[in-house]
Amino acid sequence: MTLAGFAYSAALAIAAAIPGPGITALIARALGSGFRPALVMCFGLVLGDLTYLTAVVLGLAVVAQSFGLVFLVIKWAGVAYLAWLAFRFWTAGISAGKVEAETGRRGLAASFLAGIAVTLGNPKTMIFYLAITPTVVDLASISLVDYMVLVALTTAVLVVVLVPYMALAARARILLSRPRALKLLNRTAAAFLGGAAAAIAARG
């Protein structure tokens, strides 16, 4: 599975690096709350990808498509959450005290769930795994070892690709400390989140 694993990793890296709802939401989270909540959101995004990967490997892709209502609910829940965050960032502003509050357990849990919702609400992710996974392994005879290799590759590739995005965004947030800059930062984060919500809502 070495050559196939390399091809899978390369395809996943390219797909993950192309800015979409996930990266948009991740950057907005890093801008608004810093690196730690964004990292937790990143893990949520990864878990969402692994959910789709597992569904394909287990042969549940057709079943998942049959339960369109469930995925529709997840999609619009993600849209609503991102839209709410955008409104909050736009109207409430960002201060040191609020940043500390966002890094608490509730803030981290919300970031993780938001990451899952963004991925599961993006049909592009499911289509990717439907298209790529069958070219890597024979789904009719996949072993547990093959599946674990795919999980490890998926997790590693996504973390390597996504961490630089949020690190740069978090760094920019630290550098912008003046009130006027914070207001601009707040509006930028709101715009990114609103854009992510719109992108997910527009996808079929």
Do 15 and 157 form a contact (C-beta atoms < 8 A)? no
pLDDT exceeding 70 applies to what percent of the chain?
64
pLDDT tens string 46-83: 999 999 898 888 876 555 555 566 666 766 776 776 67
10 Å Cβ neighbour count for 137? 19
pLDDT exceeding 90 applies to what percent of the chain?
11
User: Per-residue pLDDT averaged across 178-186, rounded?
Assistant: 66
Do 67 and 143 form a contact (C-beta atoms < 8 A)? no
Which helix or strand (DSSP H or E) is residue 117 part of?
Answer: helix 105-120
Domain ranges of the chain: 2-15+25-202
Candidates 162, 142, 80, 65; CA nearest to 113 is: 80
> Would you say the pTM of this structure is higher than 0.75?
no
Quick one: tokens of 73?
Answer: 């609910």
Cα 177 to the center of its chain, rounded Å? 27
pLDDT tens string 120-177: 877 778 777 876 776 666 666 778 888 898 899 999 999 998 988 888 887 776 655 5
